[in-house]
Amino acid sequence: MNTLDRFRHRFFMLLRRLPRGEPSRRSRFFARSGAVALLFGALVHGLVIGGHLDYDGSPWRKLPGKLASSLGFAADDIRITGLVHQEPETLLSAIGVQPGGSLVGFDASRARSLLENLDWVAAARVMRKYPNRLDIVVTERRPFAIWQRDGAHYVIDQTGTAMSTLDPRRLSSLLLITGEGAHRAVADLVSELDTVPKVKARVTAAARVGQRRWTLYMDNGVTVALPEIDSAKALRTLADLDRSQGLLGKGIKSLDLRFPGELVVDLAEPVAPEKDIKNFKVSQKQ
């Protein structure tokens, strides 16, 4: 018999001992017991909500969870779905819940708001199923590009929202972008690059220039200046020339597509062959 069962047994035994002919004593007993229980519950709730039992090293730290567990109100069944890049501990810490901890005073609506205020959460649902089950469903923001700004790197989603908890070094395959306003315009650029997949496969980085246009950096060091207007058409022209003439592989330094109907090519400087002939001797037998 556990502690809760023993308490119930003693409580009902005490009730049986009360004289049946004195309802006033029974009423007073129930009223006083109810008041004590209510006062005790309010006291525990206040201590838990105020964090007075949860400081590091506190001997009472696990008390709320134990009390809640004995009453059937502990977080004994937590089900989380939707996590991709984050850990369950990160999510639970954000809403102040620990496995096996107390759910006394837990507010599912407030927990949802706390989750949706995190920069890596796009949407969240929190459902409490009494007495001890929590169902949490989150939709993480999807890493889309890495934005370099003022020497720092940020993983951003398609809307340009930075996700501070993600390490850019672990997502180095994403497109690297730089320049003021690049995070807000990169979705349109990627959409245009999707129409020329062979060109897109060779783009390693892109710089936003004057918040108006892009310069692309290719995998062989070639830079491509796109126009401010109708950059999609310029990309199609580049793709056609590369397919028909292998333009991107012809030892060029840069391409300028900013002017309609014109293509300005900057050739790479030729590398002169070595001409060290100091020790070179020619002998001829006659």
Stretch 183-203: mean pLDDT: 96
Question: Would residue 96 count as lying in a domain?
Answer: yes
Question: Would residue 5 count as lying in a domain?
Answer: no
In which element (H, E) is residue 126 found?
strand 121-129
Question: Would residue 85 count as lying in a domain?
Answer: yes
**Mean pLDDT of the chain, nearest integer:** 79
Question: Would residue 75 count as lying in a domain?
Answer: yes
> Rounded to whole angstroms, how far apart are CA atoms 178 and 154?
10
Does one domain contain both 250 and 168? yes
Does one domain contain both 122 and 222? no
Q: What is the pLDDT of residues 92-114, one digit of tens each?
A: 999 999 888 888 788 899 999 99
| DSSP E strand stretches across 144-229 | 145-149, 152-156, 175-178, 203-209, 213-218, 223-225
Q: What is the pLDDT of residue 29?
A: 56
Mapped onto helix, strand or coil, the DSSP state of residue 86 is coil
Where residue 77 sits, what CATH number does that domain have? 3.10.20.310
Question: Would residue 161 count as lying in a domain?
Answer: yes
Torsion, Cα of 116, 119, 123, 127 (10° steps) = -40
Does one domain contain both 32 and 106? yes
Q: What is the pLDDT of residue 262?
A: 85
Find the domain containing 188 and state its range. Answer: 145-267
**Pairing, β 213-218 against β 223-225:** antiparallel
**Pairing, β 175-178 against β 152-156:** unpaired
Which region among 70-84, 94-108, 199-213, 228-242 has the lowest average model confidence (pLDDT)? 70-84
Does one domain contain both 70 and 83? yes
Does one domain contain both 197 and 259? yes
Structure tokens at 170: 């672990």
Is 191 a residue whose pLDDT tops 80? yes
Instruction: Report in angstroms the alpha-carbon separations of 92 from 75, 77, 136, 223.
Output: 11, 13, 10, 46
Question: Would residue 15 count as lying in a domain?
Answer: no
Task: Specify whether the CB–CB gap between 78 and 86 falls below 8 A.
Answer: no
Does one domain contain both 149 and 134? no
Does one domain contain both 169 and 197? yes
Does one domain contain both 133 and 51? yes
Q: Which residue has the higher pLDDT, 270 or 3?
A: 270
Mapped onto helix, strand or coil, the DSSP state of residue 97 is coil
Does one domain contain both 123 and 181? no
Where residue 186 sits, what CATH number does that domain have? 3.40.50.11690
Q: How many domains does the chain have?
A: 2
Q: Residue 225: beta bridge partners? A: 215, 256
Stretch 261-265: mean pLDDT: 86
Full-model pTM: 0.64
Domain boundary among 106, 140, 174: 140
Question: Would residue 16 count as lying in a domain?
Answer: no
Q: Which residue has the higher pLDDT, 116 or 1?
A: 116
Domain boundary among 140, 171, 197: 140
Question: Would residue 200 count as lying in a domain?
Answer: yes
Does one domain contain both 46 and 149? no
Domain boundary among 105, 121, 140: 140
Does one domain contain both 122 and 156? no
> Rounded to whole angstroms, how far apart are CA atoms 251 and 257?
17
Does one domain contain both 149 and 263? yes
Q: What is the pLDDT of residues 146-186, one digit of tens each?
A: 999 988 999 999 999 999 889 999 998 999 999 999 999 99
Question: For residue 257, what is the DSSP state?
Answer: -
Is 60 a residue whose pLDDT tops 50? no
Q: What is the pLDDT of residues 11-29, one digit of tens each?
A: 556 555 655 555 566 566 5
